[in-house]
Amino acid sequence: MIEFRDVYKNYGQNRALKGISFKAESGDILGFLGPNGAGKSTALNILTGYLSATAGEAYVDGISIFENPVEAKKRIGFLPELPPLYPDMKVGEYLSFVYDLKGCKLPRKQHIKEICEVVKIADVEGRLIKNLSKGYRQRVGIAQALIGNPKVLVFDEPTVGLDPKQIIEIRNLVKLLGKEHTIIISSHVLPEVQQVCSRVVVINEGSIVADEPIETLAEAVSGPRRLIAKICGPEAEVLKTLSAVSAIRSAEVIGKQDADSISYIIESDDRIDARKPLFSALAAKGFPLIGLEGVEMSLEDVFVRLVSKKEERTRGRERKAH
């Protein structure tokens, strides 16, 4: 459905994309994961025909976006990072304009009404866009992408700047739309990609670091768990107690919080929850545990994990082949 073949993009002397290739099949919800400035938006802007590539090929439903852009664009609905709205228009007027812009042939009123119901903006159809909240504006942006019922939907960071409730609503909406469309969603938020996507392409500094099913990402992030614990008691004895707990791989002091307690970073092995044995060991020695929190894995950690997992698998396959 979507194919990128060895796409390069230079901005003057800077190389934003360094020959990226990936595919999304029909029905996929593909997560495009990477930190800010990784090249996600550039790749999506090329895919949707907003930018041209310096080299390479990009296809939508078998049609080249560079050779036949008008036909390719008919198959894509795009929500850029900033929804492309006209604040001086009413929601209904705006969607009607997009309907005309896309040369849509479906029955106008019914089509727009259905979309408004799916994205839950029917109640604001008569309101000026400039008077809408950010969450509603994002929904209107998604609604315009849905006009013409395109096979492919491309959402560039659709949840940035929204409040937690709105984020959950938009994620659920993307999952719902994924039943009928091929979706590419870019994000720099790891849990978002985990929750919504079926495949993930990880991009960093213009190169693809990993292109894996979501299960592989889940495996990668379920590696050693890290906890930050605030414990009262003498540092040396607490460390001795921690090192005696078999579930704990390592423990280090990260700083003194106040006169009594010291913060430690504790790392346990894959798939082992060290919280219970940690609590029991400290309780037995009489060292109060006054705080415990999990440390979320950074994107950089995930890149390293994914790449090492990939290498492990490649080595495994090579050994089997021998």
Partner 1 sequence: MFAIYKRELKGYFIAPIGYLFTANFLAISGLLFSICTLQRQSESSVADYFRYLIYAFAILLPLLTMKSLSEERKTKSEQLLMTSPVSVGGMIVGKYLASLTVFAAVLACNSLNFLLLERYGDPNFRLIFSSLLCLFFIGALFLAIGIFFSSLTEDTLIAAIGSIDVIFVMLAVHFLSDISISWVKKAVDWISILARYEPFTYGILDITSIIYYVTVAAVFLFLAVRVYERRRWA
Residues that bind partner 1 (CB under 8 A): 11-12, 45, 48-52, 70-71, 73-74, 76, 78, 80, 82, 84-89, 97-98, 100-103, 144
Closest separation in Å from C-beta 98 to partner 1: 7
Nearest Cα neighbor of 74 from 173, 145, 13 is: 145
- 64: exposed, middle or buried (Cβ count in 10 Å: 0-12, 13-18, 19+): middle
Quote the CA–CA distance of 250 and 53 in Å, as a whole number: 47
Measured from the CB atom, the residue of 186 and 268 that comes closer to partner 1 is: 186
Measured from the CB atom, the residue of 89 and 221 that comes closer to partner 1 is: 89
Closest separation in Å from C-beta 121 to partner 1: 17
Closest separation in Å from C-beta 39 to partner 1: 16
Q: Calculate the CA dihedral of residues 315, 317, 319, 322 and round it to 10 degrees.
A: -140
Chain mean position to CA 229: 29
Measured from the CB atom, the residue of 86 and 234 that comes closer to partner 1 is: 86
Measured from the CB atom, the residue of 87 and 234 that comes closer to partner 1 is: 87
Closest separation in Å from C-beta 14 to partner 1: 11
Measured from the CB atom, the residue of 160 and 304 that comes closer to partner 1 is: 160
How many residues belong to the chain?
Answer: 322
Quote the CA–CA distance of 96 and 277 in Å, as a whole number: 61
Closest separation in Å from C-beta 117 to partner 1: 22
246 phi, psi to nearest 5 deg: -65, -30
Nearest Cα neighbor of 262 from 218, 304, 228 is: 228
The DSSP secondary-structure symbol of 260 reads S
Measured from the CB atom, the residue of 68 and 308 that comes closer to partner 1 is: 68
Closest separation in Å from C-beta 128 to partner 1: 10
Measured from the CB atom, the residue of 48 and 204 that comes closer to partner 1 is: 48
Handedness of CA 280, 285, 289, 295 (dihedral sign): negative
Other Cβ atoms within 10 Å of 30 Cβ, number:
26
Closest separation in Å from C-beta 124 to partner 1: 18
Measured from the CB atom, the residue of 4 and 78 that comes closer to partner 1 is: 78
One-character DSSP codes across 209-237: EEEEEHHHHHHHHTSS-EEEEEEES-HHH
Other Cβ atoms within 10 Å of 11 Cβ, number:
11
**Residues β-bridged to residue 3:** 23, 59
Quote the CA–CA distance of 227 and 275 in Å, as a whole number: 8
Chain position carrying tokens 């019922």 = 149
Closest separation in Å from C-beta 3 to partner 1: 18
